[in-house]
Structure 1
Amino acid sequence: MEVISQPITRLDNIRGNFVRLYDALKAQGFHQEAKEILTKAVEQGFFFDPMQRPVNLIEGLESMPVHNSQDFPIVEFLESHFDIIREEVIALQSEVRQQAFCDVEEPLIDAGRWQEIVFFEAGARSKKSCDLFPKTSSVLDALPLEVKEAGVIMLSMLEPQTHIVPHCGHTNGRLRVHMGILIPNDVVLRVKEEYVTWTEGQCLVIDDSYEHEVWHYGETPRIVLIVDIFHPQLSKVDKERLRTKSSSVESRVGEFMEQNHLKVIQRTAEGIRFEPNEYMGKKVARYLSQISCSMVRLSDGSMEMSSEEVPMADMVL
């Protein structure tokens, strides 16, 4: 089905508003009201299932929370190279591993720690990650270009006693392949109403546009290789549209800056410095003028204000 970009963008915005309202109500304890919001969204045709809430929803695709992994040729390829990847992960010293993995940005854990190391994102190859895992990267380099462009390829690590809260992926146009690398006991994944776990050397294929959640009650880190693939029924038009939406990391940085009214992002020795664009700069200047201060710092919900001139280094966010 050919999709026209403008209506889809408008629908994406509406679905996003439903999701944000649902999340906000649920976070404040209004669980019944949150359910009613999803019921209304399904009744009006914005979602097909209250447990499947992708902002970018593509119609006409066969939909199930957990797919038969043997239906996907990539599974045989990944599983045939499991030993190479696992040995390299184990060989990496724990302190180096801690430096290599980065915390997942999304606020999706209420306990523990969730980290990742990305090899490919939207077709862009991370030289730093690939240099750290040369054998693993040689395996991933052999994947078809379409796989590398579909989304993200990464190692995902959960520390013991971690809980990833219920959430939905951005689109049903992609499926997510998980191959177990280091899997302790007592780790559970829920996708909609199906409960599964990982097995070392074997792949799961899930549709993460369904609500999913993870509990890690084990005693050692859980590490899986994650590879995004396009849904097998996705049309060429929709594949190209998803590629365009993902596009390059550079374009997403630009989109982030536009959405947040930023003119400059700079990494310094002190941290990350943000400089607002003209619109936001004038708005902030007006607020500061009205409260007669030159600096405001927000920490744990409390606000600290000062009328003294503050060095730029102290203004780093």
Structure 2
Amino acid sequence: MPVIGKPAQKPYVKSEQDAMIEQFAAQSSKTSIGRSVAEAQRELGETEIDPFWELMPSLIQSRFPVIKDNQLERVAGMVKHALLSPDNQSLLDQNIIDDPWRPHNEIHAYMPNLRDTKPFWDTNELTICKELNENYETICDEYKALLEDRKDRFQSVTSMNYDSGWKTLVLFYNGHRIPDFPYHLCPVTTKLMESLPLAGRIAGFNRQSPSSGIPLHSDGNNMWLTLQMGIHVPKEDKAWIRVGPETKHWKEGECILYDTTYEHETKNESESEERVVLHIDFFNTLAMTPVEIEVMRYIYSMREAFMKAEGVGKVGNQIL
């Protein structure tokens, strides 16, 4: 006897579910992102594309059903570049190709038609810079509390950092919290950092040894900006960073904001004092829309999950 008031469950029919999946895939293929994937497939010919990107049109449409397609046109451009780069650099804006300070052949994650950029950005454009400055003493106290924690959490996040005397006390990895990290020791720092849409790589406290520096390089993601605030800085302007043709010196409690698609290098010329900065990579809120940032954060999170499922142990810069 059927249970009164409880609707009968419809039996599972595989053919019906397959038909629904095919219908959904057909619909998502007509979106701007779906068209970008199809166009890249045609250009690549018989070359197989990463199956992750084949799934993305359906995943994004399922996750964000109310977002209008015209809001994702620049994201679609990013997807096409991800599929065709580095073999095809014609998708890059001409101002990147023409800029001698931005190694365009190193651009690996790219969104087209963002606002004009520059080596250093005006920190007055972001309220977070003022908030970090106002909480400088508290952030320093929380940094000291982390140093006094029983576990040394500094690590070399790349071989380049290790060779150049740069280690990081990582608070966030690929934009998310780290399991079992003692965030109760740094609540204000954590809250302020999470007020930004944290991007990939790392965010935390960077320590630079005396008489050392980061060699000249560029980071190939034009969707991110980097924000740093001086925590402990050697006196007499001994610690500096050059981005493109411009050089700035860190100051304690003051922020600098810059675009790492420009070539850049750092130096701590002090022979006895280390240099410590709070370092945050985040999606460019001054050039990208909130919708674009939300979708890009979803893509990055899915990419990380996808790569881990494939057995990639440490997922960092290689996500995109």
What interval of TM-score do these two structures reach, taking the shorter chain for normalisation? 0.5 to 0.7
* Residue 88 (str. 1) matches residue 142 (str. 2): yes
Q: Tell me the CA shift for residue 80 of structure 1.
A: 1.3
Normalised by the length of structure 2, the TM-score is 0.62
Q: How far apart are 1:62 and its partner, in Å?
A: 2.0
CA contact (8 A) 2:168 2:206 kept: yes
1:216 maps to which residue? 268
What runs of 5+ residues in structure 2 fail to find an aligned partner?
1-72, 315-320
Between Structure 1 and Structure 2, the one with more strand by share is: 1
- Whether the aligned pair in 1 keeps the contact of 2:199 and 2:224 (CA below 8 Å) is no
Could you tell me whether the CA contact under 8 Å between 1:3 and 1:237 is conserved in 2?
Answer: no
* In 2, Cα distance between equivalents of 1:79 and 1:199: 11
Contact 1:115 1:157 in 2 (8 A): yes
Taking structure 1 as reference, are residues 114 and 255 closer, same or farther at Cα in structure 2, changes over 3 Å only?
A: farther
Partner deviation per Cα, 1:63-115 (whole Å, 9 max, x = no partner): 00001111111111111111011123345558967x210012243565x4110
Query: Could you say if the C-alpha distance between residues 42 and 239 of structure 1 is closer, same or farther in structure 2, counting changes exceeding 3 Å?
Result: closer
For residues 98 and 118 of structure 2, what CA distance do their matches in structure 1 show? 12
Verify the 8 A CA contact 1:11 1:46 in the aligned structure 2.
Answer: no
Q: Classify 1:178/1:46 alpha carbon distance in 2 versus 1 (closer, same or farther; 3 Å).
A: closer
Does 1:226 pair with 2:279?
A: yes
Q: How does 1:86-235 map to 2 (within 5 A)?
A: 86-90=140-144, 99-107=152-160, 112-129=164-181, 131=182, 134-144=184-194, 146-148=196-198, 152-185=202-235, 186-218=238-270, 219-231=272-284, 232-235=286-289
Residue 7, structure 1, aligned to residue 80, structure 2: yes
Deviation at 1:178, TM superposition (A): 0.3
How far, CA to CA, are the matches of 2:174 and 2:92 in structure 1? 30
Provide the C-alpha distance between the structure 2 equivalents of 1:229 and 1:213, rounded to a whole number of angstroms: 19
Q: Which has the larger radius of gyration?
A: 2
Relative to 1, partners in 2 of residues 1:114 and 1:210: Cα closer, same or farther, differing over 3 Å? same
The answer for unaligned runs of 5 or more in structure 1 is: 19-39, 259-264, 267-317
**Partners of 1:143 and 1:164 in 2: how far apart?**
24
What secondary structure, in the 3-state scheme, does the structure 2 residue paired with 1:107 have?
helix
TM-score, structure 1 normalization:
0.62
1:255 Cα shift? 7.4
d(CA) in 2 for partners of 1:154, 1:208? 17
Report % sequence identity.
Answer: 22
Instruction: State the Cα RMSD in Å.
Output: 3.4
Displacement after TM superposition at 1:211 (Å): 0.8
Distance 2:262 2:194 in 1: 26
